[in-house]
Structure 1
Amino acid sequence: MEKITSPQQHDDYPERWLDCESAVNSAFRQLVLNAVSAGWREAEVALVIAEIADEYVVELADKRSLPTLN
């Protein structure tokens, strides 16, 4: 699995989420490539990842631990 870089700024850095997006993007794309290489269609992988992400966001919201993006 691709190594994800650590945050380089303090917790209240206004665009921290953009740094997170950049750090996670490469690992995400590698996950998609691995799934496609295993025989899954790219659209299937994208929809499943979106569903998993949505479920995870709901779990976080239930715990009231979602960060703000602004």
Structure 2
Amino acid sequence: MNTDLALIWRVRWTGIRDTWSTAGTFATHREANKCVAQLQRFYPSAKFKIEYIGQEFSYDSSTKVEDSKF
């Protein structure tokens, strides 16, 4: 079975209403920072935060998984 482990980062931001919204989820912290940089150009007074939200496992569906026999 072929598995890939990805770290997940979420970019959240708020404007004048102080309501937090999700701008996106990203595989790397660098991608999340790029998102913040782009949003800051359009919304310079907004607040931003990057949250680490965990790990995601993805499985290669072309690989057959055998049932374990106990």
Task: Calculate the TM-score normalised by the size of structure 2.
Answer: 0.31
Higher alpha-carbon Rg: 2
Higher share in helix:
1
